[in-house]
Amino acid sequence: MSYPQVPIARTRVKLVVCAALTAVAATAGLPVWTVAALALTSLAIPLAVGLAGGGPLLRELLLPASGPAVGGGLGHTPEERERFVT
């Protein structure tokens, strides 16, 4: 499995920020086109992740793991863990 160029956690933060900005813009009474642009951006992020990485990556974006990763460590990818083992 190939890993995304941008960490999914960073993409999740951008999704949350866009969704929050959409809510703030709608509440503050900004022009409809501004709210629509923010809302479409919020919808485009999961769409792009789903197209780029399929269902598993989309699930990881929308449903982050609640606990520490099995296997311990600092959340390294399998390839990074292999580099640490000598």
DSSP string for 26-84: HHHT--HHHHHHHHHHHHHHHHHHHHHHHHHHHHHHHS--SSPPTT-TTS--HHHHHHH
Cα(41)–Cα(54) distance, rounded to whole angstroms? 19
Predicted TM-score (pTM) of the model is: 0.68
Q: What is the pLDDT of residue 5?
A: 74
Q: What is the pLDDT of residues 54-70, one digit of tens each?
A: 888 889 988 887 765 55
Whole-angstrom distance, CA of residue 80 vs CA of residue 58: 22
**Whether 53 contacts 45, CB under 8 Å:** no
Give pLDDT, residue 54. 86
pLDDT tens by residue, 1-57: 565 577 888 999 999 999 999 999 999 999 999 999 999 999 999 999 999 888 888
pLDDT of residue 53: 84
